[in-house]
Amino acid sequence: MDFPQNMSMEDAFALAEAEAKLNAALQESKERFDKAEMPNRLNEDWRFGRPHVYAKEWAALFTHNENSFEQIRLENGGEAAARLTAEDDDLRQTEMLMPTIGSDALLALHLKSFGDGYALYIEEDTKEPIRLGYVTRSVCAPATFIMVAPGVKAEVDINYGCLESGAIFATCNVQVAEGAELRLRTHGHGESTGGRCMLITNIQNMGGKVAHLTSYEGLRWVREETVAEIYAAGSETKLFSANKLGGDAVLDQHTKQIHHVGGATSDLLYKNVLDDNATATFAGNIYVAPGAHNTDAYQSNRNLMLSEDATVNSLPGLEILADKVRCSHGSASGPMDEEQLFYLLSRGIPKYEAHQLIAEGFLHEAEEKFRS
């Protein structure tokens, strides 16, 4: 290591120590990646996810390319926001413990490749949504931490932009304290069908209210893994997703609603509109731990198919190890309602516009419930 000539001995030792920690973290991440099994067709969590194409593609992208951010944007963060660096011990330790749904090897790769991000320590009600934006034309691996203090009401919007053939692999850790309320919106988009996005989210609800909405459009491939963990009675957790897919786009969404204790509620509604040759996969699981009595959990996946060539794989599931619970799931996929289409066409609306109106109306339910 080369030190500036005017650097004090104390600063030099601090710099050397920071570099040693970073090198240790990188080595630890590399060892975890080497030990973890890459996703394959025999992995249930990647059954329809095309791991032979996309998982290997991700590994190659983030192994051979350095982080390149076109833009990192923060609005309305104020004193609540702190910039993250790869040297941050809390970042490394938290991500090492972060749960995944079949992507341990890829998370280890994120730890090794992490480029930039923000930690939001929200201790006062937000008057305007805190907005974060990560944009790339190449590859980048941002991380976001959101911690909401007891009794605080907050709203956060995160935008991931994949320009041209850009690829973003992002992680988001969320902790909501007792009595707090968080509304979190995540949007991934591309300007062409070349963009790729992977998002791993862990929500820990300690007795507050959480509403999380994801949406994706204009991307070639998306892998979303969302794990919502409920640790206190009285917690309310709501998960929503609303997506429009076209071309050969692939959307692969996996979720877990984990009730560690009883007396809490969780609700999930994921909706997709598919056109052309698009493919959507949803695999969700509600897990109720032993002794988590009086749990109330629901899960619903609905898909509107505008093309006979579109494909939907829907796999909702329940794993209940407690008594006195109310848990259920539902799944429905089908074509556009012909009566709705006829109504719009009979009033002079062109067929393409009629399709768009019906699609927007179909997805509006998720947006409306997220806002309520």
Any long-range contacts for 91-94 (C-beta under 8 Å, 24+ apart)? Answer: 91/117, 91/119, 91/143, 91/145, 92/25, 92/28, 92/29, 94/145, 94/173
Q: For residue 194, what is the DSSP state?
A: T
Q: What is the pLDDT of residue 93?
A: 73
Predicted confidence (pLDDT) per residue in 236-269, tens digit? 999 999 999 999 999 999 999 999 999 999 999 9
pLDDT at residue 3 tops 50: no
pLDDT at residue 17 tops 70: no
Q: What is the pLDDT of residue 362?
A: 86
Q: Where are the domains of the chain?
A: 20-335
Q: What is the pLDDT of residue 4?
A: 52
- The larger pLDDT score, comparing residue 28 to residue 101, is at 101
Q: What is the pLDDT of residue 225?
A: 97
Mean pLDDT of the region 271-294? 95
Q: What is the pTM assigned to this prediction?
A: 0.88
Q: What proportion of the chain, given as a percentage, has pLDDT over 70? A: 88
Q: How confident is the model at residue 75 (pLDDT cuts 50, 70, 90)?
A: very high
pLDDT at residue 52 tops 90: no
pLDDT at residue 69 tops 70: yes
Q: Which of 216, 209, 328 is nearest to 271 (CA)?
A: 216
Predicted confidence (pLDDT) per residue in 138-183, tens digit? 999 999 999 999 999 999 999 999 998 899 999 999 999 999 999 9
pLDDT at residue 25 tops 60: no
pLDDT at residue 318 tops 80: yes
Predicted confidence (pLDDT) per residue in 175-225, tens digit? 999 999 999 999 999 986 689 999 999 999 999 999 999 999 999 999 999
The two tokens of residue 50 are 């095309």
pLDDT at residue 338 tops 80: no
- Nearest 5 degrees, angle CA 120-CA 124-CA 125? 100
Mean pLDDT of the chain: 87
Which stretch of DSSP H or E encloses residue 282?
strand 279-288
